[in-house]
Amino acid sequence: MATLIVKDVTLTFGGLNALSNLNMEIKPGLIVSVIGPNGAGKTSLLNCISGFYHPTSGKITYGDKDLTHASPHQVTNLGIARAFQNIELFSGLSVIDNLMLARHTKLNYNLLQAAVYFGKAAREEAKNRAFVEDVIDFMELEPYRKRMVGNLAYGVQKRVEVARALTLAPQLLLLDEPMAGMNIEEKEDMVRFIMDIRQERGISVVLVEHDLGVVMDISDEIFVLDFGVLIGSGTPEEVAANPKIIEAYIGEE
């Protein structure tokens, strides 16, 4: 597992800085939350890390690998996966088909072997099916495995979105508001899954979330953005006592 370093990153759209000289170091084995008011640049940061955006200036590294200008599939191959705020699943496919499709980058056979489908191709499919079934069991999706994703409740779809990212066997998981739109019970389930992802599967988690109660309960470290600028970081206790962060959220008296 590697350390993710964001160094002097600026992201500009026209004359607007979505991120400004941002510096972060995310150590492995932690649950790290990125918080801030709407428009603070949280999703833009995840987009830069995952290769959907490329910084205007600055550098992003993961271990000894430079992610600054990497494409999304290159980032994925380096062990970083992402679940999106807006569900990015194939609504007309079943849960298991969505997860098997996400796993296609791990298939290791050529076109001829796939056409004949015996030997190596069959073994690869079986191995990847077993991995997907393990993720389904871990995320408690067994009752839904053959159901069409578009017919599932919203909270279950969000769980499938996280499961899709887990099928890529990441070392670092980026979660963009995984609890948005959920009721209290669904949030409690998702919190439990996030904690188990770190504890049982050894995956580092970077979490963007608006529910400050959840953030304070499960985070090892918190980074706070405001208008693309890092205004504070530290443990939940340190962040809660930072006057600049309090001002950004509730205003100055």
pTM of the model: 0.88
How does pLDDT run across 35-74, given as a tens digit for each residue? 988 888 999 999 999 999 999 999 999 999 999 999 999 9
- One-letter amino acid at 224 equals V
CA 240 to chain CA centroid, Å, is 24
Tell me the two tokens of residue 224: 């706070």
Q: Which candidate, 25, 19, 26, places its Cα nearest to that of 57?
A: 19
End-to-end CA distance of the chain: 44
Query: For residue 11, what are the CA distances in angstroms to 15, 45, 58, 65?
Result: 10, 9, 9, 20
Cβ distance 35 to 224 under 8 Å?
yes
Q: What are 113-140's pLDDT values in tens digits? A: 555 556 666 677 778 888 899 999 999 9
User: pLDDT tens-digit profile of 199-228?
Assistant: 999 999 999 988 888 999 999 999 999 989
Nearest by Cα to 210 from 185, 251, 175, 167? 175
The domains of the chain, with CATH numbers, are 4-79+170-250 (3.40.50.300), 92-154 (no CATH)
Residue 108 has pLDDT above 80, yes or no: no
Cα–Cα distance for residue pair 51/46, rounded to 1 Å: 8
Bridge-partner residues for 13, per DSSP?
Answer: 16
Beta bridge partners of 80: 172
Identity at 136, one-letter amino acid code: I
Q: How far apart are CA 221 and CA 223, in angstroms?
A: 7
The torsion region of residue 93 among left (phi > 0), alpha (psi -120 to 50) and beta comes to beta
